[in-house]
Amino acid sequence: MKFKVLTLFPENLKSSLDYGVIGRAQKKNIIDIEYINPRDYSDNNYGSIDDKPYGGGPGMVIKADPLLKAIEFAKGGTSEICPVVFLSPQGLLFNQKKAESYAKLKELILVSGRYEGIDERVIELTENAIEISLGSFVLSGGEIAASAMIDSITRLMPGALGHEMSALQDSFTEDLLDYPHYTRPELFRNISVPEVLVSGNHHEINKWRLKQALGRTYQRRPDLLEQRQLSDDETVLLEEYLEELSS
């Protein structure tokens, strides 16, 4: 998959994506990341691409012309349906399902905003534009959001993780949070690993894990369960979890 990232700080973003899962995915040619700096399309000798907002107010706004030229350059060689994602607090909420849908694409353009924002006309003039947000908070720029999206999408691609089942068991994959994990030693500071996990009974282990995932989701993210149709077995497991919690 090809990522094209528009950012004013390509070196900083690259340094965060050249390690771990994403770094290995690049070395294995599972993904390729191209960094495009809108400053290269500035119309002045200083590389300045921002100006004061019309209507007054604090901060600066990224100008339309250099950013749109950078986007048009990024779209070169891509398909007509390639999405152009603007990382913005005003965007649709990014989640696991969106990551799964993007992981099926061959290319994706990510636009990292800065300052008070970008000239709105850039979005209006860009085909297949979509605004995406990581959540109800504000960052200094879109680089962290771009990095997070690349990470979450890449780990879903075949060969990116050491074990192919890892991504299938991640939180949110089935609209559930992940179950608790344990490793050696079996007893740590007087707290033992749940007995079922050392029983060797994989049917009971899977049942326990599902129960914990359902219970955690109910306690911490009930909104996820509201959009998930529980089976009869899952309903029973959740009721058992709540009974055990109250006992």
The residues assigned a catalytic role are 89, 116, 155, 170
Residues 6 or more apart whose CB falls under 8 angstroms from that of 103 comprise 1, 153, 154, 156, 157
Residues 6 or more apart whose CB falls under 8 angstroms from that of 100 comprise 156
Q: In the numeric block, which tokens belong to residue 73? A: 């350059």
Burial of 105 (0-12, 13-18, 19+ CB in 10 A): middle
Evaluated on CA atoms 6, 8, 11, 13, the torsion sign reads negative
| Long-range Cβ contacts of 239-247 (<8 Å, 24+ apart) | 240/211, 241/211, 241/212, 241/214, 241/215, 242/215, 242/218, 245/215
Nearest Cα to Cα of residue 114 among 206, 42, 189, 38: 38
The whole-angstrom separation of Cα 118 and Cα 65 is 11
Q: In the numeric block, which tokens belong to residue 19? A: 């390690």
Q: In the numeric block, which tokens belong to residue 159? A: 């060969």
Residues 6 or more apart whose CB falls under 8 angstroms from that of 23 comprise 17
Question: Would strands 61-62 and 187-188 be described as parallel, antiparallel, or unpaired?
Answer: unpaired
